[in-house]
A and B are shown apart, each in its own frame.
Chain A
């Protein structure tokens, strides 16, 4: 089976049921509507406009990643998937690729839709759309979304249950951030958002007092993404579909 076909099948599998379609549709619509209807009208620059519109995007892509990685196991459809494709490694790799493709596509599509809407709402500020700041904002948002997706994939692949994965992905980071509130330095090193923060504002400093350095980012990445990813991969290779 060629790699392109496997990725195409996984893209289809991740989006061909109601739940992911509704999640995408509602989140995009709510993001844009909230931005348009905020008090004082739409912001004066496109970067500010999109900052509000994409505020829920990391949660949305996390949700989609969890659904893509747990739906097969939660509905027992893994039995069908792995009967047609008993070599699980390529299927899992394709699933990773598919979810990352969806994440990046969502960021781009949301920015394109936002640009059209912003043009319609504030034609006089059209010049702010094609600016270096927008490219930076797009890159930063892509980094955040990819980081959120990777963490969600890792947790979902490890627990293989939608409800548990959602609890861990949505509430876990929040609880830990609050829990580490009294020790902000520790939060940088052990918190789940550090890698995403570093991706959004990269620096080559190992540690920095005013932004997340490479050290805390790498530690956070290992704890919240790499380690669960490896363990989840092994679990999915071995788990017996029931």
Chain B
């Protein structure tokens, strides 16, 4: 079931096209990673998705309901767009209580959320005195206040220490396992590989990939070497396995198992058989086109 959908959304700021006909869906019970280079349109898309920015055209929906028409969004859609946007002069507990009062949830839920994110000991401190990691935890608690079924988080791992990142990955994976839908915009690709089910990539305001994360790392090429390269290549040709010679390496377009079986059948001595695993960062680099590229120092 689709928990969240973005349908043909476009948004322009003056001459700059921030989003160009963007569409994607996030199913229930899954984590969707929303990735792309800086300035690609991730934050704008999430702002449209959460109703804080109105799209020029297109619509974002939670279930069948357009986001702008949700009667109490905090109860359906938990949002963390910027952990630094909390009023620095308000105490941590007051920040959560104010959020709870806004969406009409009892104080008991505030205590539960405090405990969940581990901020109980700093409840009386002012938000301005918290580190970025602690503010991220506060933002996550704030997003969870209304027990929503969808979470939209923009860079939630920023500022978290390694154990905090582990905790966050576990929290989001559990949320999805319990039927919720999570959308995270992130550059933390190790986390994406660990917990995300789908990857939606955006570049220059356009969606350039919408794939299952497991499909990205699935190999379709194998690097193979032998004591007799000519014999190796003729064996592959005989088995109709496409292959090419790249800088002295034979790359066969088949799984390691089929290549191994063919070479074994032809009596080829194999000295190397390495499936090529495509990494997430390589995939993203291949499909996106960064707007901002630094020079060499």
B13 → chain A closest CB, angstroms: 9
Determine which of A12, A72, A83 lies in contact with B81 in the assembled complex, contact meaning CB atoms within 8 Å: A83
Cα(A42)–Cα(B211), bound, Å: 79
A166 → chain B closest CB, angstroms: 16
CB within 8 Å of A: which B53-78 residues: 53, 67-68, 70-74
Chain B residue numbers with a CB within 8 Å of A79 are 52, 81-82, 85
Cα(A17)–Cα(B102), bound, Å: 17
Q: Knowing A77-B86, A82-B52, A241-B52, say if A1 contacts B72 (CB, 8 Å).
A: yes
- Pairwise interchain contact B89-A80, C-beta atoms closer than 8 A: no
Q: Is B103 an interface residue (CB 8 A)?
A: yes
Q: Knowing A76-B82, A84-B73, say if A18 contacts B89 (CB, 8 Å).
A: yes
Q: Is B84 an interface residue (CB 8 A)?
A: yes
- In the complex, residue of chain B having the shortest beta-carbon distance to the beta carbon of A8: B101
- In the complex, residue of chain B having the shortest beta-carbon distance to the beta carbon of A19: B89
Q: Is A235 an interface residue (CB 8 A)?
A: no
Interface hub of A9, A78, A80 (most chain B Cβ within 10 A):
A80
Interface hub of B53, B81, B87 (most chain A Cβ within 10 A):
B87
Chain A residue numbers with a CB within 8 Å of B52 are 79, 82-83, 86, 240-241
- Pairwise interchain contact A80-B88, C-beta atoms closer than 8 A: no
Cα(A98)–Cα(B21), bound, Å: 41
- In the complex, residue of chain A having the shortest beta-carbon distance to the beta carbon of B91: A16
Cα(A79)–Cα(B67), bound, Å: 16
Chain B residue numbers with a CB within 8 Å of A80 are 85-86, 99, 142
Cα(A72)–Cα(B89), bound, Å: 11
Chain A residue numbers with a CB within 8 Å of B133 are none
- Pairwise interchain contact B102-A77, C-beta atoms closer than 8 A: no
B197 → chain A closest CB, angstroms: 25
Q: Is A227 an interface residue (CB 8 A)?
A: no
Q: Knowing A9-B102, A12-B101, say if A83 contacts B79 (CB, 8 Å).
A: yes
- Pairwise interchain contact A86-B89, C-beta atoms closer than 8 A: no
Chain A residue numbers with a CB within 8 Å of B94 are 16
Q: Knowing A9-B98, A13-B98, say if A71 contacts B53 (CB, 8 Å).
A: no
Cα(A53)–Cα(B72), bound, Å: 44
Chain B residue numbers with a CB within 8 Å of A1 are 71-72, 102, 104
Q: Is A105 an interface residue (CB 8 A)?
A: no
- Pairwise interchain contact A9-B101, C-beta atoms closer than 8 A: yes
Q: Is A44 an interface residue (CB 8 A)?
A: no
Cα(A71)–Cα(B101), bound, Å: 19
Q: Count contacts on B: residues with CB < 8 A to the other chain.
A: 30
- In the complex, residue of chain A having the shortest beta-carbon distance to the beta carbon of B95: A80
B153 → chain A closest CB, angstroms: 12
The interface bits of chain B over 93-114 (1 if a CB of A lies within 8 angstroms of the residue's CB, else 0) are 0100011011110000000000
- Pairwise interchain contact A86-B86, C-beta atoms closer than 8 A: no
- Pairwise interchain contact A77-B85, C-beta atoms closer than 8 A: yes
Chain A residue numbers with a CB within 8 Å of B70 are 86
Determine which of B73, B86, B88, B98 lies in contact with A16 in the assembled complex, contact meaning CB atoms within 8 Å: B98
Q: Is B188 an interface residue (CB 8 A)?
A: no
Cα(A240)–Cα(B79), bound, Å: 16
Interface hub of A81, A83, A85 (most chain B Cβ within 10 A):
A83
Chain A residue numbers with a CB within 8 Å of B90 are 16-17
Cα(A78)–Cα(B81), bound, Å: 12
- In the complex, residue of chain B having the shortest beta-carbon distance to the beta carbon of A87: B68
Q: Is A75 an interface residue (CB 8 A)?
A: yes
- Pairwise interchain contact B85-A12, C-beta atoms closer than 8 A: no
Cα(A4)–Cα(B100), bound, Å: 15
Chain A residue numbers with a CB within 8 Å of B79 are 83
- In the complex, residue of chain B having the shortest beta-carbon distance to the beta carbon of A6: B102
New A-B pairs, 14, CB < 8 Å, besides A83-B79, A241-B52 = A1-B104, A9-B98, A9-B102, A13-B98, A75-B86, A75-B88, A75-B89, A76-B85, A79-B52, A79-B81, A80-B142, A85-B102, A86-B67, A86-B68
Question: Could you list 10 A-B pairs, sorted by A, with CB under 8 Å?
Answer: A5-B104, A8-B101, A16-B98, A71-B87, A77-B86, A79-B81, A79-B82, A83-B74, A83-B79, A86-B50
* 8 residue pairs, one from A and one from B, having the closest CB atoms: A86-B51, A17-B89, A79-B85, A76-B85, A77-B87, A84-B74, A75-B87, A83-B79
